[in-house]
Amino acid sequence: MPTDSEADPAAAALVAIWTDGGCKPNPGPGGWAAILQFGDIEREMTGFEPVTTNNRMELTAAAAALEALKRPCKVALHTDSEYVRNGITRWHTGWVRKNWRNAAGDPVANMDLWKRLLDAAKPHTIEWKWVRGHAGDIMNERADVLATRARQQTA
């Protein structure tokens, strides 16, 4: 991924990221994956949790991918999770304003991971792109395979 030693940082156009996460059953053992592309450089990341939820794995994938970037970047992050995309682009401002309470006044679910994701996103300029899962997007399908493999290897 991008480093400070690149000859022309202004030419560093875009880091493309695809993320996925899931569990089976939900809740249960879960896996997450991220694929990061910067020019000709590509990195795959995966992880596992023994007891978790689909939403936690989706959030973890996005946060881990952004945390892997070594300097502020322009990012196109692709996710098939409407929960992640809506939370980061619409809902989080209200949660923060209400001291991490949802519309019903209850604590926001997965608050620890939402805070982690917001912190990881701060240095970057991110376009959050939703892609339909299991609909033929090659990179989304690849992230799904990696997340499933991560879940199955250690389940």
Catalytic residue among 6, 20, 28, 92: 20
Query: Is 4 annotated in the active site?
Result: no
Query: Is 28 annotated in the active site?
Result: no
Following DSSP, what letter does each residue of 98-146 receive, concatenated? TTSB-TTSSBPTTHHHHHHHHHHHTTSEEEEEE--TTSS-HHHHHHHHH
Catalytic residue among 8, 106, 134, 136: 134
Crossing angle of helices 111-121/54-67, nearest 10°? 20
- Which two tokens mark 36? 């990061």
How does DSSP classify residue 10? G
- CA dihedral (108, 113, 114, 117) in degrees, to 10, reads 180
Strands 15-23 and 28-38, sheet pairing: antiparallel
Catalytic residue among 21, 31, 47, 87: 21
- Which two tokens mark 86? 């809506």
Catalytic residue among 49, 80, 87, 92: 80
Query: Is 112 annotated in the active site?
Result: no
Catalytic residue among 31, 47, 49, 58: 58
Query: Is 119 annotated in the active site?
Result: no
The residues annotated with a catalytic role in the active site are 20-21, 58, 80, 134, 144
